[in-house]
Structure 1
Amino acid sequence: MTAEELKTSVDATDEELEHEGDIAADFLEELLDIADIDGDLNLDVRQGRAYVSVEAEDDSLSLLSAPDTVQALQELTRLAVQSKTGSFSRMILDIGGSRDTRRRQLESLVDAAVAKLDEGASQASLPAMSSYERKLVHDIVSDRGLVSESYGEGSDRHTVISRG
């Protein structure tokens, strides 16, 4: 992403983000129709991002809610939004509560890393993850009064936790 694309996406107004969410929802609705999957779409704007969540009363979203699948669908949806708006999208997609589930998994990873620190390690590395997941990890680590930094490039970028 270029600096201009990042600036454009960070400086988006709530109205632009709502429009982004509408485009994303239309794209996802078409995908769900093609796959013959029922789901309710909800749109929100938080922290300078459009959030789109897909929910269902039954377990029809279970196959789509796997973290890798959500990540892939999010990237496809971002590309669809970008093709309509001409601007990079930082939209976040949640399918069937997948983001809450992933946050709990990340909290467990952080807890395991903290246990290593408690056992005397000077630092603990977490596996490579997306920028969104690393941001969540940084927030979780900060809430626990510890320090974290990201290292590496591209798909190898990971978080290292220490006492500071």
Structure 2
Amino acid sequence: MTTERAVEDLSLEELEADGDLAADYIEGLLDIADLDGDIDIEVANGRVYVSVTGGDEELDRLATADAVQALQDLARLAVQARAGRFSRLIVDIGGSRDARANELTRMVDAAVAQIAAGRSEVELEPMSSYERKLVHDEVAERGYHSESRGEGRDRRLVISKR
């Protein structure tokens, strides 16, 4: 059984435990940085979503894509160290994931418009695997085709007609 397969087969209890481990880790980081924030944990679609919210302006400044990605990577490593398995948890700070999802939808809108105007394909900016998944789903829902190209931090989606 591969690690990825094992992740997909985690029970609700294991996912919730991963969420608790990630929340404890993030809470510790917030305490060290002297930042206030509330942490919410949700399990949906085989993933754990850990959201940090609060009225702290300093916390809001951390809601950049790079900072959220870095916090997510650190939280995943902390969960892996404690649970002994990879976690596909998703971290959000102050609604930044929803804002990014809206931005990605606008990118798909623009790409589809360009294809409708005659372009054979449209290449999007590099993005994380989670963002690429969101875009793949959005593109498929609209009846178009998407594929990932490139490696590492330069991996991006190319959208075309089916």
Q: TM-score, normalised by structure 2?
A: 0.95
Aligned residues: 162
Kindly indicate whether residue 44 of structure 2 is the aligned counterpart of residue 49 of structure 1.
Answer: no
Give the percent of matched residue pairs that are identical in Structure 1 and Structure 2.
56
Q: Quick check: 2:126–2:153 contact (8 Å CA) kept in 1?
A: yes
2:122 matched to which residue of 1?
124
Q: How does 1:58-137 map to 2 (within 5 A)?
A: 58-137=56-135
| 1:124-155 residue CA offsets vs partner (Å, 9 max, x unmatched) | 01111111000000112123222211122222
Instruction: Give 5+ residue unaligned stretches, structure 1.
Output: none
Instruction: Give 5+ residue unaligned stretches, structure 2.
Output: none
* TM-aligned CA deviation for residue 89 of structure 1: 0.9
Q: What amino acid does structure 1 have at the position aligned with 2:119?
A: A
* TM-aligned CA deviation for residue 65 of structure 1: 0.6
Distance in 2, Cα, partners of 1:59 & 1:108: 27
Q: SS where residue 62 of structure 1 aligns?
A: helix
2:140 matched to which residue of 1?
142
Distance in 2, Cα, partners of 1:39 & 1:120: 48
Q: Quick check: 2:35–2:56 contact (8 Å CA) kept in 1?
A: no
Q: What amino acid does structure 1 have at the position aligned with 2:4?
A: L
* TM-aligned CA deviation for residue 109 of structure 1: 1.3
Distance in 2, Cα, partners of 1:61 & 1:137: 27
2:149 matched to which residue of 1?
151
2:14 matched to which residue of 1?
16
Distance in 1, Cα, partners of 2:141 & 2:99: 18
Q: SS where residue 16 of structure 2 aligns?
A: helix
Q: TM-score, normalised by structure 1?
A: 0.93
Q: Quick check: 2:125–2:157 contact (8 Å CA) kept in 1?
A: yes
Q: What amino acid does structure 1 have at the position aligned with 2:116?
A: D
